[in-house]
Amino acid sequence: MKHKIVFLDRATIEKNIVVRKPSFDHEWAEFDYTNHNDSNLILKRLKGATIVIINKVPMREDNLKKLPDLKMIAVAATGTDVVDKEYCKNNNIIVSNIRGYAITTVPEHTFALILALRRGIIGYKEDVIKGEWEKADQFCFFNHEIRELHNSTIGIIGEGAIGQGVANIARGFNMNILFAAHKGVEGLGPLYTPWEEVLEKSDVITLHSPLLPQTKNMISLPEFKKMKKKPILINTARGGLVKEEDLVEAIEKGYISGAAFDVVTKEPIPSNHPFFKIIKKPNFILTPHVSWASMEAMQILSDQLIDNIENFVIGKPSNVVSGDF
């Protein structure tokens, strides 16, 4: 059988990253972008395809049932919320994803954001540009609070590979580490700290959970008001884990000391997003979903993506998604 492979959004992998072609006989087609909302275009491009590669292009039942030749969806990411996995399960379509590729790059980005906030980097950079240092009557000036990480407490929500990677870096700063699952989960054993306790005791809270029905908006105003130490909040995981309007209020009212996000609920971010109310504040940082995107991590992703496809074709599918991601 000659497979037809279609990559619908190749531009989600940096152009200099090598995406090798599979070793078996196949037809290959790729497109930089495919409009998520254009079902006719998606179906046209996938006509006759047996394998589709996607990152964010949705694969829902309405389209899947019109693609009788499709046997595999290879997701070029860890998250598979864009795929109707129940339909795939019931119709013998294998869904594979990428695992373990971001265990270095996301923790590094997380700590870059933590350090930028704890040391007032953004505010001081802007002050220098505005000439504030030039106006100072001594060698330095103190417009923004600087706090050390040493002996502070970090609350890590999620104990997967990325959460553990964050913990490894935190140990290097001699931080106290608390792990918690998402709100409402109990009985996980001594390695976990209760949710409420993490909210109350942490100087830094960082999110590393999947977006599931039970994790959606798991941090909103009630949680912000329980954060007694006014921590900084970091989200390099998924948009939707935090109620975004409530984060804006938490920043404006001082319930937390600052926040840094790499993800939002709608990406790319629309111009009317509530984060633009606080975007110029020195204690808020927004990066455009790039915590995963080191060159090294993207090459690992690309190689694993093709490995998954080749393993499927020889009858030994790898990284098959059977649960929630």
Q: Would residue 238 show up in a list of annotated catalytic residues for this protein?
A: yes
Torsion of CA 99, 289, 236, 322, to 10 degrees: -30
Catalytic entry in 27, 148, 196, 267: 267
Q: Would residue 119 show up in a list of annotated catalytic residues for this protein?
A: no
The radius of gyration of the chain's CA atoms, rounded to the nearest angstrom, is 22
Helices 161-172 and 105-118: crossing angle, nearest 10°?
A: 50
Q: What are phi and psi of 59, to 5 degrees?
A: -120, 90
Beta carbons within 8 Å of 285's beta carbon, 6+ residues apart: 113, 116, 117, 122, 258, 259, 260, 261
Q: What are the DSSP calls for 274-322, one per residue?
A: GGGGTTTSTTEEE--S-TT--HHHHHHHHHHHHHHHHHHHTT---SB--
Could you tell me the two tokens for 97? 């994803």
Query: Helix, strand, or coil here: 130?
Result: coil
- CA nearest neighbour of 61 among 93, 32, 35: 93
> Any idea what DSSP says for residue 53?
E
Catalytic entry in 182, 289, 296, 310: 289
Q: Would residue 267 show up in a list of annotated catalytic residues for this protein?
A: yes
With vertex at residue 59, the alpha carbon angle to CA 57 and CA 62, rounded to the nearest 5 degrees, is: 130
Burial label for 209, CB within 10 Å (0-12, 13-18, 19+), is buried
Catalytic entry in 238, 244, 245, 273: 238
- Cβ of 115: how many Cβ atoms within 10 Å? 12
- Residue 249: which region, alpha, beta or left (left: phi > 0; alpha: psi -120 to 50)? alpha
Helix or strand holding residue 66 (H, E)? none
Tell me which residues are annotated as active site: 238, 267, 289
